[in-house]
Amino acid sequence: MTQKLVYVLNGPNLNRLGRREPEIYGTQTLDDIGAMLAERGQALGMAITMHQSNHEGALVDWLHEAQDAGAHAVLLNAGAYTHTSVALLDAIRAISVPVIEVHLSNPHTREAFRHTSWVGMAAKGTIAGFGAHGYLLALEAAAQF
């Protein structure tokens, strides 16, 4: 059985998870989340490729790479770029790989500027507000298509 490739892309400041505002983002690190995804992915027959960058262009490049690599899905936590990046919106629309938007917190319970998601305008779906568990929920959803 061939494993399905899933890209997990993380935007700005997510490299600070576990130390950055734990009351909002939790205490798990991005490495913790990666380990959880790898374990669950293995059980689902999915291979995880995980990246993080504080630079918008790197996220765009990885979205393109996911398409070129034949990825089954992309889980994208674009961080603050969610609310500002037309470039990510266009990149998602430029590929045929389904993208699931992931947020640790629920943007709709936070500042008004976080209520608009450019990423969400092109994503297949959004999972928000469940902390690190949201990544696992997104992976489970990706396994269904």
Residues marked as catalytic? 25, 103
The three-state DSSP-derived secondary structure of the chain is CCCEEEEEEECCCHHHCCCCCHHHHCCCCHHHHHHHHHHHHHHHCEEEEEEECCCHHHHHHHHHHHHHCCCCEEEEECHHHHHCCHHHHHHHHCCCCCEEEEECCCHHHCCHHHHCCCCCCCCCEEEECCCCHHHHHHHHHHCCC
